[in-house]
Structure formats: C-alpha cells, structure tokens
C-alpha cells in the first residue's frame, strides 16, 4: 500500500471495480460528481469515498480534471441505496450510478434548478374563451386547464399535459396569457380540490386504520385486494395524511398507460404539485422533476420502474401498485427489481411502504409469512359492485370462428344488445403467429432467432417480437416459389377483422403494442372506452392492468391453452395472475353484472379448476407449498449467469470456467446448458443457474468472483451478465 490521499470513484464503465484518482487542493465531497480522464475519454464519475492509502503506485494515477459539485447531490439514504443495488445485483457500480441519475447530470450539467415560469390568464383571454372554434380542441383544453388552476398555470402543471409549446406562444402573442418567473414553494398543505373522499366500506376503513398509525416509521404492508376492491381510494386517504404532515409521496405504477389516469385522479383530489415521470419527457424535463423533488418542491411523484431513484427532501410514503407485475424487473443491463429495492429504500429512509395487488407475487406472500410485511385484505368490490360470474368453456369438438366459439359470440351479442361493452382477450399481437406455404410447408422463421416471425397484415410485414427484425412479406414461397402463403394461427389483427365482420354495426378497437405506439394513443383509447365510443375491445396483456371501465360487462379469453404449458416454474403463478386480472375487468360497476368466458381445450387443467372453483388466494398457498418442497424461489435465492456469442461453444466454455470458479462455494449449480431459446438476435446463448437456501450465502459466493470473471480469456469472447433474482428463465 502507498501512503497517498486519493478519491475512490464510480466511473461509468463495464468494469466491476472502483478507480483511484488524485486530486489537487481540497478533497472532493463524497457523493459529488467529478470529471476525470479515462483512456482517451473524459467521463463524469461519482465520488464514493476518500482514502489515505492506495494499492496503486501514485505515479500511475491520474488527477481529477474538474470538480462539478461542491457537495453530495443525493440524499444520504438514496446514495446508500444505489451502492447497495450495485453490490446486490452484481453490476458495475459506475454504470449503476449512471442508470440512476438523469442523463444531463451524467453529462456534467449543474444540479441546479432553472427559473420556474408561470402563465396567467388575462381579461382578454377570458373574453376569448367563448369565441374559440369548436374544433380547436387543444386550445379549449388549455383554457379549461387555466380556469381549473384559478387562471395561473405553472410548468409543473403543464408537464402532466400534452400541450405543444406553440399554443402557449400563440396565447402570449394574442395577449391571452402573460408569462412570468416565480418562486416555487415547498409547502404542500393539501387544499380542497375537485373530488372529495369517497365513502369507504368496512374493509377499506380497516385497511386505513391498520396502516395509519405507522405513517411516521418504516413498516411494510401488502394490500391484497380483489380487482375493483378500491385499493386506490385507500391509497388516496393515506396520501392525504402524509401530505398533511408536509411529507412527499412516491408512487410506482407498472405501465406508463396507467400513469396519466392515476395522475388525473390524484390531481382532482389534491391541490399540490404533482409530477409524472415517463419515457415521453425530454432530458431537461426529467432533470427538472428530479431537482424539484430533491428540493421538496413536488409533493407527489408518480412513475414507472426508474422513478424509484428520484430523490425526496421529506420522504413520507412509498406505494408500489400492482406489485406482482413483471415490468418492475429490468430485463437488460442493470437487472434490478424496483419493487424489491423500494422495500430497501423505505427501510433506509424509515418510511412506510405499501405494496398493492389483486394477485400478489409469491415473493410478497412469502414476506408476509416471514413477518416482513403485514397483510391487509380487501375481499369485496367497492361501491356494492358484485364479482363477475366466471365460466370455463370446453371448446373441444366445437367449431371456432377465428378462435371464437358460438357460445362466446352469442354472449357478446346479448351484452351488446344491452348497450354494454365486451372485451376479447388474446395475448398475441399481429395478424397471425406466422406465415406458412400451403404447397411445401415452409414457415417464416426469423433467421436471427429460434422462433417464427409474426405476420402483421396491416403493414404487410413479418416481425420477430424477440429481436425486432422486420421484413416485407414475400409474394412467393422462398423454397418452392408457390404464391399460396397463408397466415397460420390467431393474432389480435385477425381477431379484429373477424369481430368487425361478425358485428358490423359495432365499433371494434384493438389495443396492443402496435396500435398504441403513438404518443397519447393509450390515453385516447381509454377515454374513448369510458365515453362509450367503443363497443368491443380486443386486448393483450396491456388491458389486464388496473383499468376501470364501468360499462364493460363481458370478458372473453380466447386462447387460454397457450399459457397452461410451460417449463418455467413461475408459469402457474403468472397464468393465474393474468387470468384473474383479465377477469377483473368485467362488471366493476354496481349496476352491471359481470361475466367472464374462458375458452379452453383443457377445462380440467388443475390451474383452471383450482383458480375458478376456489380463488387466487387458495391457489397461491398451493404454489407456495410446491415451491417450498422443491426449494425454489422464494424459498431459495437464485442467480443466472448468461452468455452469448456467434457460436454456442464460446458461451459454454465461459460458463464452464464460471462453474469451476464457484468451486466449493456451497451453491447448487445447474448447467451450463443452452438457453431455452438458444438463438436470439443472431447470437447463440447459454446459461448457468445457481441457488442457495440462504440469500446471504448466495451473495457471499457471487461478490468475490464477479470481478474476477472479467479477467478470464473466455470472457473477452462473449457477452455475459449476472441476473440476481431472475424473473424469466429464457
């Protein structure tokens, strides 16, 4: 060791280690950003610690070029959380900090708020409102928002709405709005908004009474509430209590499509500064929200997975809605679970955390067993709504019209005649799963993956949903030149075509990833459904999440069988969650009796029998018992080493060397073996699975070896990763 003061930095590189740098003058603050030379580049790094000694010859060390911040830019607890996340998920700490900070901060921009702007409605503007053209929808909406906000609009309020800046400029030029700078306050005493508290049933009141006494300290709660049980109203009334204590709320939601609805409902309840974090924000908007939250100028922050790393000046409550959802787990790069890290963050910040779901994950139910979460159940639908009647329909030997049985079609007709809405669920977008030649049997396979390409009729393209490769549909078979190329199987596009023919006088809407690519398209669909402008919805998994459609009375699940047979040990849990959530969309109003028809060629499958003759709660207990007997998560901690290269030999060689490195670690090791999908995006893939009954033992084994793997010769020939607590085994 050399006696030399150094700064130990997290540099954004794929190396699992820290880097020592020299500094001139005063030592940089721990948690501050510095600019450093790294190879031929200049990078923005984070100071992790200061040390008096270094293991590297000081003559070989470089100096910090520039100190960007005079102090730590993160609250101490969040700084600690990010370091924990890098360690737990075995990911390079520099890249973890880079992933958790806004892009502009990673580029070295100052962590300081720019002036806030507001727009005030003038007397001329008020006079202009009645004179606006009927088709000037956006302008009318902008005026209405001004009126709703007492004639004064702030940037924070505009951030949650899709108003093009040119409209504001036009209104300014006409003298309808006056732009001025103002100082945003950090007072969030909630004043009356537009919606008052809803009347609670006994179970909702019990939930609030159970959680409210713990709003000043760390405690974890799991609200297990059936679909439509009013979990959101419970959240709202607890948020009210937190805001009254001058604290902030962080709410995570799984889908960006749910965020605008949640924001709108909260805006109507609380007259406080609210921010919505989503992928449509510019880098500048994202940084502004991050800085405002850090300075306490926002009361409620709502967002998807990455919103977890938003700093809060006065944290008061964390809510993870639909906690079971797979989207909370990042599947590429820094593979973290936002739900699991939210629990750690709440503990560090000593704030309560609420996980909510109608179909709780096995991990959360296990945490209830272990006493880490307190279970609160909501077993009744709110507002006197009744649970839907569920029927599993045996479609063996029945004629299917594009996947639709006659009983399902008849049921749809009956509900539509009563001016109610129907939803047909098929978790497979596209027109058909693939294209096949009638003459020779050729099938359109993706040359880069071990999977068929999906046929999309609207765009006349074949699309691989695994690697995103797209090609134009051939006019003739590439093998035998026959023009007889036929779509095989059922997709949402084909279902849309069939339902339009069956119900020509009804409005049919397909809601999937393809139809909701444009900004605000999901919001527009949701609004159209609530306005009764759509009669029949065709939906994929997107529609199973948290949506409330009062006039939706019938749900038909077309192809259940595709979910029932899988080698993944989580398949039963996932299928039960999906079917329960889909069924929960029906009959959410007290005036409408919901009905669910689930088509299957395997009506006696144990999952369907157990789920619908009993309930999700009973099924989940059986799943937990099976997992415990098999020593599978959550009764064991698991990690997967994945590797890919141009041929299978290279990843297998690397993973065998990893296996040797694990040696006498005490871990149970499976593999290496080719991945369930051996070829993806042109690369051959393999994996090595390790597990232990103790989470700490798994971490103790992984931590020392993960940095050494970079030194292996075979590691340079593959792209590899470690997935801790994997949610998908593929």
Query: For residue 137, what are the CA distances in angstroms to 140, 147, 234?
Result: 5, 15, 34
Round to whole Å and give the CA distance between 446 and 468.
10
Tokens of 137: 């929808």
Residue 449, annotated ligand binder?
yes
CB–CB of 193/274 below 8 Å?
no
Residues in a beta bridge with 182: 116
707: preceding bond cis by omega (within 30 degrees): no
Round to whole Å and give the CA distance between 291 and 276.
14
Please state the separation of Cα 619 from the chain's center in Å.
25
Instruction: Name residues whose C-beta falls within 8 Å of residue 639's C-beta, 6 or more positions apart in sequence.
Output: 90, 689, 690, 691, 698, 702, 722, 723, 724, 725, 726
Q: What are phi and psi of 124, to 5 degrees?
A: -65, -35
Please give the full DSSP string across 151-167, using - where no structure is assigned: TEEEHHHHHTS---HHH
Round to whole Å and give the CA distance between 447 and 159.
43
Burial of 674 (0-12, 13-18, 19+ CB in 10 A): middle
Residues in the chain: 730
Round to whole Å and give the CA distance between 83 and 500.
54
Tokens of 187: 């007072």
Residue 149, annotated ligand binder?
no
Residue 563, annotated ligand binder?
no
467, 500, 476: which is closest to 681 by C-alpha? 467
Q: How many CA atoms lie within 13 A of 295 on its CB side?
A: 16
CB–CB of 624/365 below 8 Å?
yes
75, 552, 584: which is closest to 295 by C-alpha? 75
Q: What is the 3-state secondary structure (H, E, C) of 410-442?
A: HHHHHHHHCCCEEEEECCCCCCECEEEECCCCC
Round to whole Å and give the CA distance between 339 and 353.
10
Round to whole Å and give the CA distance between 621 and 614.
12
**In what helix (H) or strand (E) does residue 243 lie, and over which residues does it extend?**
helix 231-244
Residue 480, annotated ligand binder?
yes
CB–CB of 517/456 below 8 Å?
no
Q: What are phi and psi of 73, to 5 degrees?
A: -90, -5
637-645 and 274-277 as β-strands: parallel, antiparallel, unpaired? unpaired
Sign of the Cα torsion 339, 342, 346, 352 reads: negative
Q: What are phi and psi of 303, to 5 degrees?
A: -170, 180
CB–CB of 538/511 below 8 Å?
yes
Q: Is 419 left (phi over 0), alpha (psi -120 to 50) or beta?
A: left
Crossing angle of helices 231-244 and 202-211, rounded to 10°: 40
552-557 and 595-600 as β-strands: parallel, antiparallel, unpaired? parallel
> Would you tell me how many other CB atoms lie within 10 Å of the CB of residue 185?
9
- Residue numbers belonging to the annotated binding site for Zn(2+): 437, 440, 446, 449, 464, 467, 477, 480
- Residue numbers belonging to the annotated binding site: 437, 440, 446, 449, 464, 467, 477, 480
């Amino acid at each position: 060791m050399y006696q030399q003061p150094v700064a130990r930095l997290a540099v954004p590189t794929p190396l699992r280690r820290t880097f020592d740098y020299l500094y001139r003058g005063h030592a940089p603050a721990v948690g501050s950003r510095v600019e450093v030379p790294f190879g031929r580049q200049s990078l923005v790094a984070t100071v992790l610690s200061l040390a008096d000694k270094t293991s590297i010859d000081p003559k070989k060390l470089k100096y910090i070029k520039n100190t960007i911040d005079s102090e730590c830019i993160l609250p101490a607890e969040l700084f600690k959380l990010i370091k924990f996340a890098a360690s737990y998920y075995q990911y390079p700490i520099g890249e973890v900090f880079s992933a958790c900070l806004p892009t502009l901060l990673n580029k070295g921009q100052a962590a300081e708020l720019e002036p806030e702007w507001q727009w005030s409605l003038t007397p001329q503007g008020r006079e202009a409102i009645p004179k606006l053209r009927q088709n000037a929808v956006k302008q009318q909406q902008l005026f209405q928002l001004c009126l709703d906000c007492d004639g004064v609009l702030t940037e924070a309020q505009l951030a949650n709405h899709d108003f093009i800046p040119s409209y504001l400029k036009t209104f300014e030029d006409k003298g309808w709005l006056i732009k001025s700078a103002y100082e945003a306050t950090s007072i969030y005493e909630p004043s009356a908004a537009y919606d008052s508290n809803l009347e609670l049933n006994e179970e909702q009141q019990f939930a609030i009474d159970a959680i409210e006494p713990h709003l000043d300290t760390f405690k974890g709660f799991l609200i297990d509430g059936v679909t439509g049980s009013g979990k959101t109203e419970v959240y709202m009334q607890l948020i009210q209590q937190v805001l009254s204590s001058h604290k902030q709320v962080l709410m995570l939601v799984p889908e960006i499509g749910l965020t605008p609805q949640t924001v709108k409902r909260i805006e109507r309840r609380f007259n406080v500064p609210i921010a919505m974090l989503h992928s449509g924000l510019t880098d500048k908007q994202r940084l502004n929200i991050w800085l405002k939250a850090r300075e306490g100028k926002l009361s409620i922050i709502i967002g998807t997975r990455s919103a977890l790393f938003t700093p809060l000046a006065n944290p008061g409550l964390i809510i993870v809605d639909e906690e079971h959802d797979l989207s909370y787990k990042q599947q590429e790069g820094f593979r973290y679970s936002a739900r699991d890290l939210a629990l750690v963050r709440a503990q560090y910040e000593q704030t309560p955390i609420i996980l909510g779901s109608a179909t709780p994950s096995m991990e959360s139910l296990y945490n209830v067993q272990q006493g880490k979460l307190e279970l609160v159940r909501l077993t009744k639908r709110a507002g006197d709504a009744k649970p839907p009647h569920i029927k599993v329909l045996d479609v063996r030997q029945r004629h299917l019209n594009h996947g639709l049985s006659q009983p399902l079609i008849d049921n749809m007709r009956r509900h539509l005649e009563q001016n109610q809405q129907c939803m047909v669920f098929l978790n497979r977008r596209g027109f058909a799963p693939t294209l096949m030649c009638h003459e020779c049997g050729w099938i359109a396979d993706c040359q880069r993956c071990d999977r068929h390409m999906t046929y999309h009729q609207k765009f006349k393209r074949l699309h691989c949903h695994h690697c995103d490769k797209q090609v134009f549909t051939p006019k003739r078979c590439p093998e035998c030149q026959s023009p007889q190329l036929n779509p095989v199987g059922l997709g949402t596009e084909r279902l849309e075509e069939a339902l339009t023919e069956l119900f020509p006088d009804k409005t049919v809407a397909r809601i999937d990833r393809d139809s909701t690519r444009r900004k605000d398209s999901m919001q527009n669909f949701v609004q159209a459904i609530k306005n009764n402008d759509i009669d029949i919805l065709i939906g994929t998994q997107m529609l199973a999440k948290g949506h409330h459609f009062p006039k939706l009375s019938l749900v038909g699940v077309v192809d259940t069988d595709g979910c029932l047979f899988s080698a993944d040990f989580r398949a039963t849990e996932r299928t039960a969650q999906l079917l329960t959530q889909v069924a929960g969309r029906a009959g959410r109003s007290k005036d409408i009796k919901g009905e669910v028809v689930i088509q299957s060629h395997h009506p006696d499958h144990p999952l369907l029998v157990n789920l619908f003759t009993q309930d999700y709660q009973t099924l989940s207990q059986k799943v937990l018992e099976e997992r415990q007997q098999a020593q599978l998560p959550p009764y064991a901690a698991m990690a997967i080493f994945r590797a890919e290269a141009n041929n299978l030999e290279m990843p297998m060689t690397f993973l065998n060397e990893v296996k040797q490195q694990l040696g006498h670690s005490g871990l149970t090791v499976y593999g290496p073996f080719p991945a369930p999908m051996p070829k993806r995006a042109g690369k051959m893939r393999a994996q090595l699975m390790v597990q232990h009954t103790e989470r700490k033992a798994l971490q103790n084994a992984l931590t020392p070896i993960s940095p050494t793997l970079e030194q292996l010769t075979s590691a340079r020939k593959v792209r590899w990763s470690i997935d801790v607590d994997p949610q998908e085994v593929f």
